[in-house]
Amino acid sequence: MTGGTGLLGKTLLETAPEGWDVVATFYNTPPPMAWRSRFQHLDVRDASAVESLMDAVRPTVVIHTASVGSVDEAERSPEAVRRVNVGGTQAVGQACREVGARLIFISSNAVFDGTRPPYDEASPLGAVNQYGLLKIEAETWVRASGLPAVIIRPILMYGWPWPGGRENVVTRWLSRLEGGHSVEAAEDLYSMPLLVTNCAEAIWAAAHQGRTGTFHLAGADRVSLVEFARATARAFDCDEELVQSVPHGRMTGFAPRPVDTSFSTSKMERELGVAPLGVREGLALLQRTRIPAR
């Protein structure tokens, strides 16, 4: 598994099914000491290094989560991000071919422009920012490669990262709300928030079942971001009045965002056998699994 120190990588390691021997990679941020023996350093842009590691490990399945996840960074520096998000995918895919491994590629809801939800796996692609365009390019390569591959498109994942890891929308909100500070959330951007453990469950199901093809992974509820922020405040006993509703044009970053990329989850439920969690259920589970600060 590439990208093992990210939110999804961490959760995949923690939820690996019994009998699976998982080797993970990291690039910038070393893993916690307790997990260090499971990791190898890897720059996915270095095709020869990818090939050498894959030849040493000889995996049967490769879950490729490593990428530059910042939408705004992709907009500012598309060629630099392309070397990771597209070039890295190609290097991993080519090494999979050499060792006979199946590939599970983690894409994004950003491959859609947000104008015609809900999207199923056969919906036409079309992105509104460079991040989405690069994911489309990587997906196109995977489909054309002839590899036995799964393309996973998660949407708005949230959960507990490792200490010092990259934050997600819920942890960013909580760091402010629990300090008594206000947060702004868009009243006109819609999503289907996905608890990262729900996402990991579906990915492990796809790996275990030997699936190929494309899968949309999402939570059960379509909500605006301000509704999600208020639900987060309620779940963690924060002051809901601190959540300020604003139009998305006031708060988004450098890159444009699609307004509504809500998914159909029928294939996730039917073929993978994984039920999407609602916002209330997901946040309650997150609250129960919080590790108290020392």
Tell me which of 292 and 24 has the higher pLDDT.
Answer: 24
Whether the predicted pLDDT of 294 surpasses 50? no
Note the CATH architecture for domain 7-162+193-220+261-276.
3-Layer(aba) Sandwich (3.40)
pLDDT attached to residue 254: 75
pLDDT attached to residue 251: 66
Cβ-contact 255, 73 below 8 angstroms: no
User: What are the structure tokens assigned to 160, written together?
Assistant: 């507990």
Burial class (CB in 10 A: 0-12, 13-18, 19+), 263: buried
Q: What is the pLDDT of residues 84-143, one digit of tens each?
A: 999 999 999 999 999 999 999 999 999 999 999 999 999 999 999 999 999 999 999 999
Peptide bond into 256 cis (omega under 30): no
Confidence of residue 164 (pLDDT cuts 50, 70, 90): confident
Confidence of residue 176 (pLDDT cuts 50, 70, 90): very high
Mean pLDDT of the 255-272 span: 97
Whether the predicted pLDDT of 250 surpasses 90? no
pLDDT attached to residue 248: 85
Specify the pairing of strand 243-246 against strand 194-195. unpaired
pLDDT attached to residue 111: 98
Cβ-contact 198, 249 below 8 angstroms: no
Backbone dihedral region of 114: left (phi > 0), alpha (psi from -120 to 50 degrees) or beta?
Answer: left
Cβ-contact 44, 84 below 8 angstroms: yes
What percent of the chain has pLDDT above 70? 98
Whether the predicted pLDDT of 35 surpasses 90? yes
pLDDT attached to residue 252: 63
10 Cβ contact partners less than 8 Å away, ≥ 6 residues apart = 4, 161, 162, 165
Whole-angstrom distance, CA of residue 104 vs CA of residue 213: 10
The CA-atom distances, in angstroms, between 106 and each of 51, 142, 153, 237 are 20, 11, 6, 33
pLDDT attached to residue 292: 64
Cβ-contact 69, 107 below 8 angstroms: no
Domain boundaries defined on the chain: 7-162+193-220+261-276
* Neighbour count for residue 145 (Cβ, 10 Å): 17
Whole-angstrom distance, CA of residue 251 vs CA of residue 44: 32
Enter the pTM of the model: 0.96
* Neighbour count for residue 20 (Cβ, 10 Å): 12
